[in-house]
Amino acid sequence: MSPSADIAAAKASGSAPLLGLLLLCSFLWATAYLLMKVLGTDIAPVPLAAIRGLMGGGLLAVWLLARGQTILPRGREWRDWIVLGVLQGIIPNTLTAYALADTEAGLAALIAASSPLMVAVLAHLLFSDQRLAGRRAAGVLVGFAGMAILLGPAAFAGTSAGLFGPLAMAATAASYAFGVIYVRSIPSPQPVRLALGQQVFSGLPSMVAVLAVTGPAAFAAVPSHALALLFFGIFSTAVPIALYMQILRVAGPTLGSMNAYLTPVWTVLLGVLVLHETVALNEVAGGLVVLAGIAIVSSASRRGPAASAARP
């Protein structure tokens, strides 16, 4: 079943509000790319990652406390929160901030969207019931062909500077993929608590590292960007995480995975309208090919066992 067929089925089943949540969730995640690019002109990548993690974690903690739940890790949650804090927090947030210094937000989001393709490859290597064959294998090949189209101009630009941003975003996608695979190994995962731990154990280590190496001076520009940072922490981090967890809880990973299609589309549109970015022909073509590959893999995967899904 294609993504458009999924939408039609969702509407037919009376789940139109879920589609609204999906559109809002993907839109808010797209704003994170724009804000990281704007804020990154005055705030270094690691301090920015620290602020995002602590604000997102703090807001999720308040939400859990309001529901009468503890915010302290229990049992193996210590390990799970630390691993996800690194794989889906520290590494991708820091690399994305560095990449956006010289890479347009739309291109960065398109490359990051390849994460489901990397999940498919890792699952093939690690799980006997997730072997790549037929449509899934074809979808992965199509998706990585799109990645080659996206990365090609940077690879042949003749300078390492032009290649750093796209490669950093590819590494970001790989880090997200390892995080998704790790979530699959967690017995009876609780998505909201995992999101809390991911944010806290991303923000705290980053904050400690910044204060130890640079000191409070690293946050000198924070007051002048207070409103943008507040939006960044609330609406670009905590709210979309909560929405995504709600979508997964009610509709499962099939509908939730459509964020992979929608977030880069929103990012490209916002980049053009707000940041006046230009979209090259190879970016349009490569992005469409990547998304087509994800669609093929996703539609083929629905015929087999459903995989766990996670998103920062």
Q: Where are the domains of the chain?
A: 20-301
Between CA 147 and CA 141 the distance in angstroms is 10
Asked whether the predicted pLDDT for residue 148 surpasses 70, the reply is yes
What value does the CA radius of gyration of the chain take, rounded to a whole number of Å? 19
Is residue 240's pLDDT more than 50? yes
pLDDT on residue 22: 86
Structure tokens at 180: 């998704």
Q: What is the pLDDT of residue 256?
A: 65
Does 130 score more than 50 pLDDT?
A: yes
pLDDT average, residue stretch 126-137? 79
**Average pLDDT, rounded, for the chain:** 83
The CA distance from 171 to 302, in Å, is 27
3-state SS class at 187: coil
On the question of pLDDT at 3 being above 60, the answer is no
Residue 300's pLDDT band (cuts 50, 70, 90): low
User: What confidence score (pLDDT) does residue 98 get?
Assistant: 92
- Reduced 3-state DSSP string for 214-236: CCHHHHCCCHHHHHHHHHHHHHH
Closest by alpha carbon to 63, among 206, 253, 243, 255?
Answer: 243
243 pLDDT exceeds 90? no
pLDDT of residue 138: 86
How far apart are alpha carbons 13 and 26 in whole angstroms? 22
Q: Does 153 or 186 have the greater pLDDT score?
A: 186
CB 46 within 8 A of CB 232: no
Average pLDDT, integer, range 252-275: 82
Share of the chain above pLDDT 90, in %: 39
| Rounded (to 5) percent helix, strand, coil in the chain | 80, 0, 20
This prediction has a pTM of 0.82
d(CA 24, CA 42): 28
| Closest by CA position to 106, among listed 150, 45, 144 | 150
What pLDDT is recorded for position 44? 93
227: pLDDT strictly greater than 90: yes
60, 238 Cβ separation under 8 angstroms: yes
243, 24 in Cβ contact below 8 A? yes
- Are 285 and 138 in contact by the 8 Å Cβ rule? The answer is no
Cα–Cα distance for residue pair 180/176, rounded to 1 Å? 6
- Cβ atoms within 10 A of the Cβ of 24, count? 14
pLDDT band at 253 (very low <50, low <70, confident <90, very high): low
Percent above pLDDT 70 for the chain: 85
158, pLDDT greater than 70 = no
CB atoms near residue 63 (< 10 Å): 18
